[in-house]
């Protein structure tokens, strides 16, 4: 049986800003229901954060960037700006990210109280909103920011649980049905001068992050794009062909990384390549599901071994813009990659796994970061990272779009990131 794809449906009555605020904030609380307080305070590595920190940090975002602008504002607690600021240097100093797991206070219960306090004040503002575009943009930015952290909550707790010898499951009731095999075919695209990116974000346009702007022209040479993501079975064949032992397949930095880190297989795969750790605990490796938790280095080496390459972000977006946002996104609540349900058309563009592109994360021509401290949100990270596209099984469906640019360092592999192949012709 195939996974049921999520299809966004037109809402006959548009959601109000207040309704959206309530829904997104509630969704974060829903995600942590399966967790115990002990789960929410640990930090498994410097790149990951404790669940409690995520819950507090997204709340701080509303407190700092919206509530603090109100007359008679008083910080909820002295010192929490320092604890829950992430990387906004123009706001002030911050507690070091690699050691967020060392804090036992504030407690998880205190963070829930903090959320309730901020929600009460934010509800007064959103219910009384008179449609001020700047206010609505900031609230929407805060909600999109919270959705990014919802994905990180699941991604980070998966990593923490994977290190526990008891292999705890985040949830047990996942409908991990068997996925049918789907042929890999390549569709041809003629290329030419096309437009990518968006002009949106303010003035009544649909929300976007500043790094998606402006819309601009690019030249695409003719290219082929794979009909689906690379599967576990295909990646297993790469391993069995000594893929991790053959330096000619790897970028220089990738080869150095796998030597230093002693990587022999994907991060959550068992040594016998028969099972993988997931949010359901340890499960059998399904050959037809998308391979996940790839670093860029592994994705690139696989593509070279397969006689192909990774797509550019412009190629990916040009194709994705012609497809509806439909797929195994977090709304299915599977929280695990599925497989393709089509052997003829390009499928899985949205959901299952983020897809590495070969494009460096950089500014589009004419890019202007947001003004003030929020200008630190995206632009300052435009160095040494690669772009990923399409969202994953832990990305909310109303958070992703064709123009969305995610970005990570090439050695990062704890994210739900996978591979789609492309070729020249
Ligand atoms: Fe953040």
Segment 240-281, tens digit of pLDDT: 999 999 999 999 999 999 999 999 999 999 999 999 999 999
Distance 148 CA to ligand 1 centre (A): 8
Q: Which residue has the higher pLDDT, 191 or 87?
A: 191
Q: What is the pLDDT of residues 11-70, one digit of tens each?
A: 567 899 999 999 999 999 999 999 999 999 999 999 999 999 999 999 999 999 999 988
CA dist list (Å): 193 to 109, 198, 202, 223, 316:
54, 16, 27, 13, 14
In angstroms, rounded to a whole number, what is the distance separating the alpha carbons of residues 313 and 164? 36
- CA dihedral over 40, 43, 47, 49, signed as positive or negative: positive
Question: In percent, how much of the chain has pLDDT > 70?
Answer: 95
The token pair that represents 38 in the structure block:
């002990």
Distance 230 CA to ligand 1 centre (A): 30
pLDDT at position 167: 95
Q: What is the pLDDT of residues 329-369, one digit of tens each?
A: 999 999 999 999 876 689 999 999 999 999 999 999 999 88
Q: How many Cα atoms within 13 Å fall on the side-chain side of residue 387? A: 26
Q: What are the backbone dihedrals phi and psi of residue 49, each rounded to the nearest 5 degrees, phi first? A: -125, 155
Q: What is the mean pLDDT of residues 204-214?
A: 88
Say whether pLDDT at 7 is over 80.
no
Say whether pLDDT at 305 is over 70.
yes
Distance 60 CA to ligand 1 centre (A): 9
Distance 112 CA to ligand 1 centre (A): 18
Distance 86 CA to ligand 1 centre (A): 6
Distance 244 CA to ligand 1 centre (A): 34
Beta strands 417-418 and 354-360, pairing class: parallel
Question: In percent, how much of the chain has pLDDT > 90?
Answer: 82
Distance 377 CA to ligand 1 centre (A): 8
In angstroms, rounded to a whole number, what is the distance separating the alpha carbons of residues 356 and 408? 9
Distance 155 CA to ligand 1 centre (A): 14
Strand partners, 36: none
Distance 64 CA to ligand 1 centre (A): 12
């Amino acid at each position: 049986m195939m996974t049921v794809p999520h299809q966004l449906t037109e809402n006959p009555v548009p959601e109000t800003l207040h309704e959206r605020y309530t829904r997104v904030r509630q969704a974060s609380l829903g995600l942590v229901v399966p967790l115990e307080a002990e789960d929410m305070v640990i930090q498994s590595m410097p790149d990951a954060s404790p669940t409690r920190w995520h819950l507090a940090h997204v709340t701080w975002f509303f407190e700092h960037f919206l509530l603090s602008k109100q007359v008679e504002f008083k910080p909820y607690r002295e010192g929490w700006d320092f604890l829950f600021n992430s990387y906004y240097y123009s706001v002030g100093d911050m507690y070091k990210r690699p050691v967020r797991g060392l804090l036992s206070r504030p407690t998880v219960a205190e963070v829930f109280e903090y959320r309730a306090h901020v929600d009460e004040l934010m509800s007064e503002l959103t219910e009384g909103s008179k449609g001020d575009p700047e206010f609505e943009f900031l609230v929407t930015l805060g909600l999109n920011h919270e959705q990014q952290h919802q994905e990180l909550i699941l991604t980070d707790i998966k990593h923490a649980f994977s290190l526990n010898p008891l292999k705890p499951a985040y949830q047990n009731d996942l409908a991990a049905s068997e996925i049918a095999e789907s042929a890999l075919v390549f569709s041809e695209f003629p290329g030419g001068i096309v437009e990518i990116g968006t002009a949106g974000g303010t003035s009544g346009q649909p929300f976007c992050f500043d790094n998606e702007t402006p819309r601009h022209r690019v030249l695409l040479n003719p290219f082929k794009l794979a009909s689906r993501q690379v599967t576990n079975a295909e990646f297993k064949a790469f391993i069995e062909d000594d893929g991790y032992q053959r330096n000619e397949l790897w970028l220089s930095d990738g080869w150095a990384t796998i030597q230093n880190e002693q990587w022999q297989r994907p991060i959550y795969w068992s040594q016998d390549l028969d099972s993988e750790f997931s949010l359901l605990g340890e499960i059998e490796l399904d050959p037809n599901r998308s391979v996940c938790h790839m670093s860029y280095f592994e994705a690139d080496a696989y593509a070279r071994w397969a006689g192909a390459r990774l797509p550019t972000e412009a190629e990916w977006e040009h194709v994705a813009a012609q497809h509806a946002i439909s797929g195994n996104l977090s709304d299915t609540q599977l929280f695990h990659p599925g497989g393709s349900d089509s052997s003829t058309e390009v499928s899985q563009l949205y959901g299952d796994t983020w897809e590495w592109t070969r494009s460096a994360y950089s500014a589009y021509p004419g890019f202007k970061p947001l003004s003030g401290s929020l200008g630190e949100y995206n632009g300052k990270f435009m160095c040494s990272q690669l772009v990923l596209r399409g969202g994953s099984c832990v990305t909310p469906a109303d958070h992703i779009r064709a123009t969305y640019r995610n970005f990570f360092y090439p050695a990062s592999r704890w994210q739900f990131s996978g591979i789609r192949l492309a070729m020249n012709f």
